[in-house]
Every structure is written in C-alpha cells, then in structure tokens.
Amino acid sequence: MYWDTLQVFVCFVAPYRLPMAGTNLRTEPKHIVFLSQLLLLFKFCHVCKTENAEVEAKQVRTEAVVTTSCSNPKCPKQENIWHSQPTMPNSQIPAGNFLLCMSILLAGSSATKVFQVFKHMGLCCVSLNTYFNYQRVSTILLPNAHFYNHGHYTSGHLVTFQ
C-alpha cells in the first residue's frame, strides 16, 4: 500500500515534457503561476526588445491581463496586451473562468468550498455570482448535468444502479 502511494506521489512530482500541440481548452495543461514570476517575462518590450517597459497587471477573475508600454518612440507597437488565457470559442469569456465553473458543476462539488480553498491559497477566482450565472446557462445547455453530477451519466448514456 505504501509503495503504491509513493509511486503516485513520484509521478506527480517528477517533471515531464508537456504536450505542445493537439490539445483542446479542457485538456490543455494548466498551471499555478505566481505574479512575481510572470512579470519577469515582461521586463522588456517584446516587439523592439527595449528594456524596462512599463508594466501593468490586472485580474479578470481567474485571468491575468498584462499590458506593457514601450518607452522607445521608434517602436512599431507602443502598447501590447497579453492575456493569460484563451477565450472560449465564439465568446469573449476567458476559458479558465468558464472551465472552473463547469468543472465544479460537473463534479457535483460545492462552489463555496472550492472558492474557499482558492482564497486560502491566494488564487484569483470567479465570484459566486459569476458561478451561479454560468450554472444557470449550463442547465439550459446541459439538461443532464444533474445526472452527470450524481454519477448516473457515462459516455452520453444514463446509467441505472441496482
């Protein structure tokens, strides 16, 4: 028993190469990134390579938005805006915001508990109001989410338990 637990632990700790292609928004690997480490990537203008670009970071629920302003007057693009997440197809909703809410809903978890964990870790998160808005929309789009939440849904088929 101890060895199995140790193997699982080592599997999660050991670094491995991440897939760079062939993923979708749901299966693409996601990571916790500290803002101080993220801002190290924006110490210079990515267009003209001038150092000491002015940097401003904003939070949009789970998404970080970094705006850099170049001090070089000859730079062809004075301002760059970078988003930490792609948007959901055919919308402007950051994918992490939507996927977090849908994951809580489909797992049958408590949004309040998940958000409390995020708060204790200092992770940015959607509001409870946003979660309930997505939940309302999802019940229209996914009428069988109730069955999925309670373990009665497998590969598109309802499963009955005896």
**6 vs 69, residue with greater confidence:** 69
**pLDDT tens by residue, 56-89:** 999 999 999 999 999 999 999 999 999 999 998 8
Whether 92 and 78 map to the same domain: the answer is no
Tell me: pLDDT of 162 over 50. no
Number of domains in the chain: 2
Q: What is the pLDDT of residues 20-61, one digit of tens each?
A: 776 788 888 888 999 999 999 999 999 999 998 999 999 999
User: CA of 86: how far to CAs of 28, 82, 98, 115, 129, in Å?
Assistant: 11, 10, 11, 22, 22
pLDDT of 84: 95
CB 67 within 8 A of CB 76: no
Whether 136 and 75 share a structural domain: no
Q: Are 50 and 31 spatial neighbours (Cβ–Cβ below 8 Å)?
A: no
In a domain, 65, yes or no: yes
Contact 67, 81 (CB under 8 A): yes
Given this model, what pLDDT does residue 12 score?
A: 58
Last residue of a domain, which of 42, 57, 84?
Answer: 84
Domain that holds residue 139: 86-162
Is 124 in the same domain as 140?
yes
Contact 79, 70 (CB under 8 A): yes
Q: Is residue 121 part of a domain?
A: yes
User: Does residue 64 sit in the same domain as residue 80?
Assistant: yes
In this predicted structure, the answer to whether residue 149 has a pLDDT above a threshold of 60 is no
- Residue 1 within any structural domain of the chain: no
Does residue 49 belong to any structural domain of this protein? yes
